[in-house]
Structure 1
């Protein structure tokens, strides 16, 4: 597995945790931010599980979950931006990171399912 993917997704998880802390402490927003925390940190957690997969199918399934979590995270980021909880600059940066992870995961999934 691409160790770079794990590093990028772990760094993204840290950003998500910090965003959650900001949203709950500064903005007093607890519902949407909790959803963001769950989906955003789940991306790397499932990549970690894929690293220990017992079969190609298990590997693919875990990466597919990571991919779907990226899409969900992008949704929560959009909603938080459109409701004024995060500013445009933060949104664009985090959304771009999530999009990059989703593209990498999609490429790996596409290649692994062709074999």
Structure 2
């Protein structure tokens, strides 16, 4: 399961990079594009780190970190739309994927906290 999650979060990061690259030409979007790039690509990094966790607490910490990065990514995506830096339809698939990843990571975190097998 963790390998599937790593692959999926990496694909999410690649799509975030594509969005970032499409915004680089707009001066007003540079800072926000950089923020969404950082948070969106950090999700996969946290999942990769979780796969090498040394303890259950370390694993949980990395998974929670990934959920926090997803929350931040969703914030920046919403801000891009509300500031009219992108069309509302542009980040729709990214938001959907972020929501699905959030559900998966939240389930993993809950199971880890209760000692259930992930």
TM-score (ref. length: structure 1)? 0.94
Runs of 4+ aligned structure 1 residues displaced above 4 Å come to none
Residues 53-72 of structure 1 deviation map (CA, whole Å, 9 limit, x = unaligned) = 10000000001000010011
Kindly indicate whether residue 4 of structure 2 is the aligned counterpart of residue 4 of structure 1: yes
Aligned to 1:94: 94
Q: How many residues align?
A: 114
**Structure 2: gaps spanning 5 or more residues:** none
Residues 34-75 of structure 1 deviation map (CA, whole Å, 9 limit, x = unaligned) = 110110000000100111110000000001000010011000
Mapped partners of 1:44, 1:18: distance in 2: 16
TM-score (ref. length: structure 2)? 0.92
Q: Secondary structure at the match of 2:53?
A: coil
**Structure 1: gaps spanning 5 or more residues:** none
Kindly indicate whether residue 57 of structure 2 is the aligned counterpart of residue 57 of structure 1: yes
Mapped partners of 1:17, 1:10: distance in 2: 11
